[in-house]
Structure 1
Amino acid sequence: MKKVAFKTLGCRLNQYETDALASQFQNKGYQLVPFSESADVYVINSCTVTHQSDHKSRNFINQANRRNKDSVLVVTGCMANNAKEELENQDEINYVVENDQKTSVFSLVEAHFDGEIIHPSKLNVDLFSYGATDKGFHTRSMIKIQDGCDNFCTFCIIPSVRGRAKSRPINDILTNIREVIAQGAKEIVITGVNIGRYEFENYKFDDLVEQILDLEGNFRLRISSIEPDGFGDKFISLLKHPKMTPHLHLCLQSGSESVLLQMRRMYTAKKFKATVDKIRSQNPDFNITTDVIIGFPNEQNEDFLATCELSKKIKFGHIHAFKYSIRKGTRGERMINQVNEQTKNKRSEILRNLSEEMKIEYRKSFIGKHQSVLVEKSKENINYGYGEHYIPVEFLGENIKRNQFYKVKITGVQDDPDPALKGILISE
């Protein structure tokens, strides 16, 4: 039995695509092993959204090569598009596969072991035929509804490496969801690059969500990262549906109107706040998490303070803060008044501390309330999973089954020096 190992960097869409590829390899007789172990095949699903992402991807390429020099090493994902020529010139990499040919990674590897060397450029172009993710890395079943983006924000390289926006046929999506529900999926996560821009024939994003919620089965629906301008009142009203999870990851990027304008974002800070207020007016506990870019060109101290003040007003459940990186080919590359690293580091620390305070405050508000936890793992009668608000929960219990819902009463919030553990909700 051949062994395959995966390493995934970046977004939820990459996670979904890795899950689907991992399931395909296992269904064809491969054993899935951790990336830290020796394997016959290493697949690195890379990210290139920041310099740090590029650095991590290169490190994992080096690690895979050191573990087993006779293995097949495939590099795919956004870095494979953005730095294709550089990667193809590295002898230790067997294949560099661009995003629109990622679905063919398995057939490429199988041909290699059969003695047939195929150049990735000859592979089929297909964005959506990934198949089920039942043997992937996550309990939640991610469903890809679209790819690419037409927004061309000044900081973002994604339109260059993922291409223009393309939506998957609605019947294919609904069929895919029915299949994973029949296989036992309890939580569906719809994902893509800019999912709010979904449009197929006469169906738009809120129409698709409505169709999914009407499907039969004991499941709940979660929305992956979404732009705040990608939906309207109809979608907000659907958030009250009992199958819908009360959590959205809305991408703010900055709380400064001036910076948002320079970023070419399609909304204002005022509109972002009004959208959150609408959502919370029908569910005060609704969890809003976000992304923020620190140190965009021309970001003054007052701009950063505006981000902090808006964050305090909204009370985000979590902020993913990352420092701005110049990406070649973007408008941001040509902008003057780049912010120095020292200032970026200082602002990042301030925002991370603020985010931690708000996260703990938000999670403490659940003490004495109930959460419906989808169990991901159990060890020595300690069970771990996520509640409907996308908050990690730990509870005691014997004979608890993975991928099943359990309603628990929250009794506290874990206090741990490890940031990854701090803030987990605890239930007896």
Structure 2
Amino acid sequence: MKKKVAFKTLGCRLNQYETDALVSQFQENGYESVSFEKEADVYVINSCTVTHQSDHKSRNFINQVNRRKPDSVLVVTGCMANNAKEELENKSEINYVVENDQKSSVFSLVEAHYKGEIIHPSNLNSDLFSYQSTSKGFHTRSMVKIQDGCDNFCTFCIIPSVRGRAVSRAVSDIIKNIKTLISNGAKEIVLTGVNIGRYNFKETNFDDLVEKILELEGDFRLRISSIEPDGFGDKFLNLLNHPKMTPHLHLCLQSGSESILMQMRRMYTVKRFKEIVTKIKTQNPYFNITTDIIIGFPNESNEDFKASCQLIKELNFGHVHTFKYSIRKGTRAERMPNQIDEHIKTKRSKILRGISKDVKIEYRRSFIGKDQVVLVEKIENDKAKGYGENYIPIEFHGRNIKINQFYKLKITDISNDSDDPILRGELI
């Protein structure tokens, strides 16, 4: 019988990509991938440690595995494995704690385990870019890792400590990876990393890399995952008009207050952020810009919070991911005075989420009557679901629809029963 492997991924797109690559490797070597809720021979938790909530979720999933198949192998990897390594290694239910540097060798570790070989994770291959192409896995969109680590050292962020300093993948490896994915039928390529706008390999920067990818032949579109507003140049902004480039960016803001951004040690100003958004929207008024906002950073006054709320309304974001500031040990913000009371954070979160929801619905309604090209990800009872080029969920009815194919639709309606309304369309 095939051995069964189950994955649970928390956190960022980079973690999702790395999980997809690991799933592909296990499946290609005869393992059956099953839901994390089912019994499996191997459980892999790809953890996150950005907030206390992330740590709490990771620990809960570890405890869930402990109540299942008693002789299963549990591997914990990801950022929590770096940040809380000693704590996790002392848990008897965890077989292996694998840091980010060795994550790509999780399959080799599991195989050695079943052969009776005792290998400490620290002796595994240390290569941030040795993942295979994600030919299988959990996602229709094919992610490609181009960069890892970060040199910015924002005062609230623990990522440089758990992911290390910034390092970029060789251009030739990236292009080869993408060509393989396209030849295997990938329709959407997503560039991912920790701080991808700071990509720089020899004489090729991020703008140059994107240009090289867009010049590749094939029926595909290119999407950029989360990106900082300080890494790319005007050349990249102009490339956003390319027919293969999707009109969507997740552009990290964190606060609408100049004072708070300075205390966060962010590498841009609110003024610069607005200039970037204005230039993009001037080129394409329907371009989807999504963002992150941290609520309750130390010293955040009512005026600072109001500035964030006002900016969300002004810039008409397609989606705002809001989360409460969480103290991370070892960061500068941990030592800052005037930590905000948790009740105030909760109150502000509710207000900002309400504003964000209204702005999101208004933005999505603007697409009614317009065309979108959808990449189908799921089909149920002749109803197909996927994402349009602007990264908005869309559903439509049709026969003989295939997964991982493009379909052009006219948007006719929007659902009203959710915080994440879905557009509805008809085939053209």
What TM-score does the superposition give when structure 2 sets the normalisation length?
Answer: 0.99
Quote the residue 2:132 is aligned against: 131
- Code of the aligned partner of 2:421: G
- Code of the aligned partner of 2:207: D
Counterpart CA distance in 2 for 1:75 and 1:249 is 28
Quote the residue 2:425 is aligned against: 427
Query: Which blocks of at least 5 consecutive residues in structure 2 are unaligned?
Result: none
Counterpart CA distance in 1 for 2:233 and 2:301 is 32
Counterpart CA distance in 2 for 1:414 and 1:377 is 18
Residues 354-403 of structure 1 deviation map (CA, whole Å, 9 limit, x = unaligned): 11001100000000001100000101100000000000000000110000
| Pairing 1:42–2:40 present | no
Where 1:93 maps in the other structure, the secondary structure is coil
Counterpart CA distance in 2 for 1:276 and 1:388 is 18
Counterpart CA distance in 2 for 1:386 and 1:17 is 22
Counterpart CA distance in 1 for 2:99 and 2:190 is 24
Residues 259-299 of structure 1 deviation map (CA, whole Å, 9 limit, x = unaligned): 00000000000110011000111111000000000000000
Query: Cα offset for 1:65?
Result: 1.4
Counterpart CA distance in 2 for 1:122 and 1:235 is 40
Query: Cα offset for 1:423?
Result: 1.1
Quote the residue 1:149 is aligned against: 150
Moved segments of 4+, more than 3 Å: none
Where 1:92 maps in the other structure, the secondary structure is coil
Counterpart CA distance in 2 for 1:256 and 1:138 is 36
Query: Cα offset for 1:6?
Result: 0.2
- Code of the aligned partner of 1:56: K
Counterpart CA distance in 2 for 1:212 and 1:250 is 20
How is 1:243-322 mapped onto 2 (pairs within 5 angstroms)?
243-322=244-323
Counterpart CA distance in 2 for 1:152 and 1:113 is 40
Residues 169-207 of structure 1 deviation map (CA, whole Å, 9 limit, x = unaligned): 000000000000000000000000000000000000000
Counterpart CA distance in 2 for 1:12 and 1:228 is 18
| Pairing 1:203–2:204 present | yes
Quote the residue 1:413 is aligned against: 414
Counterpart CA distance in 1 for 2:93 and 2:136 is 28
Q: How many residues end up aligned between the 2 structures?
A: 425
Counterpart CA distance in 2 for 1:232 and 1:244 is 16
Query: Cα offset for 1:165?
Result: 0.1
Identical amino acids, percent of aligned pairs: 75
Quote the residue 1:327 is aligned against: 328
Counterpart CA distance in 2 for 1:104 and 1:293 is 34
Superposed CA RMSD in Å reads: 0.6
Quote the residue 1:354 is aligned against: 355
Where 1:7 maps in the other structure, the secondary structure is strand
Counterpart CA distance in 1 for 2:121 and 2:166 is 23
| Pairing 1:159–2:160 present | yes
What TM-score does the superposition give when structure 1 sets the normalisation length?
Answer: 0.99
Quote the residue 1:14 is aligned against: 15
- Code of the aligned partner of 2:188: E
Query: Cα offset for 1:132?
Result: 1.1
Counterpart CA distance in 1 for 2:177 and 2:134 is 10
Quote the residue 1:27 is aligned against: 28
Query: Which blocks of at least 5 consecutive residues in structure 1 are unaligned?
Result: none
Counterpart CA distance in 1 for 2:18 and 2:32 is 18
- Code of the aligned partner of 1:423: P
Counterpart CA distance in 2 for 1:155 and 1:281 is 33
Counterpart CA distance in 1 for 2:70 and 2:268 is 49
Query: Cα offset for 1:427?
Result: 1.1
- Code of the aligned partner of 1:426: R
- Code of the aligned partner of 1:238: L
Quote the residue 1:85 is aligned against: 86
Query: Cα offset for 1:310?
Result: 0.9
